Chains A and B, each alone.
Chain A
Amino acid sequence: SQQGEEDPQALSIQEGENATMNCSYKTSINNLQWYRQNSGRGLVHLILIRSNEREKHSGRLRVTLDTSKKSSSLLITASRAADTASYFCATDDRAGGTSYGKLTFGQGTILTVHP
């Protein structure tokens, strides 16, 4: 099954800096989603970008999608200590059929923001 690969595996920055995480995938997708997971908690949906979109913004989040390169990036601007978490990309790869909303998750990027 398709699996997204995320880069870097871990990222450590200072408060106020920007954080960029990348995700690559293997096959055609319907949409790509980013989720956040705080330590010991469940995942929380952050943002969804459709396959016909190239960029999307939500607050301090900016997501880009390049379907020709099968890659996406998540940018968190002006990071805060509270942004410390793991971030996962997930692809809905129904590609013309129905996947019943099944998502394939990447391995995640661990982001640490130092005060």
Chain B
Amino acid sequence: NAGVTQTPKFRVLKTGQSMTLLCAQDMNHEYMYWYRQDPGMGLRLIHYSVGEGTTAKGEVPDGYNVSRLKKQNFLLGLESAAPSQTSVYFCASSYLNYYNEQFFGPGTRLTVL
């Protein structure tokens, strides 16, 4: 099993450009999450999904959109990138149970110039 994979691993954008980050999991997890991690800070939740076709806002959703058309995939989009979105982005997934542990992907390092 590959677990949680993220594409791409690195990306450099110019301000105003758009891009989509792809997260895929092969564990048949119901829940999926997108986080961002900035230096000296913990992870902050951007958006999450509790199942195929559903998404919800997390702590820092502004400037991002998401879609979950297939259970195994969770896409994070930046429509018009800003330097403040320079960060490392992590995707995670978990089972639908009462005591969940999250399984994380390796991260995408994004720089917006």
Which residues in A have some Cβ–Cβ distance to B below 8 Å?
Answer: 1, 3-4, 30-31, 33, 35, 40-45, 48, 50, 88, 90, 92, 100-108
Contact = CB atoms under 8 A, between A and B. Distances in A.
A43 B103 CA distance: 8
Nearest to A46: B101
A45 B40 contact: no
A101 B43 contact: no
18 contacts: A30-B99, A31-B99, A40-B107, A42-B90, A42-B104, A42-B107, A43-B104, A44-B104, A48-B99, A92-B99, A101-B96, A102-B33, A102-B45, A102-B48, A103-B45, A103-B102, A105-B35, A107-B41
Interface of B: 4, 31, 33, 35, 40-45, 48, 50, 56, 58-59, 90, 92, 94, 96, 98-107
Given A92-B100, A101-B31, A107 B106 contact: no
B25 to A, nearest CB: 12
Given A100-B50, A100-B56, A43 B33 contact: no
Contacts of A35: 104
Contacts of A31: 99
A60 B59 CA distance: 34
B59 to A, nearest CB: 5
A45 B102 contact: yes
Contacts of B43: 43, 88, 105
A30 B99 CA distance: 8
B58 A41 contact: no
Considering residues A45, A103, A104, which has the most beta carbons from chain B within 10 angstroms of its beta carbon? Answer: A103
**Which residue among A31, A92, A102 has the maximum number of chain B CB atoms within 10 Å of its CB?**
A102
B101 A1 contact: no
A90 B94 CA distance: 14
A88 B105 contact: no
Contact of B101 (A48, A100, A105): A48
Contact of B99 (A44, A50, A105): A50
B1 to A, nearest CB: 15
A101 B96 CA distance: 8
A24 to B, nearest CB: 13
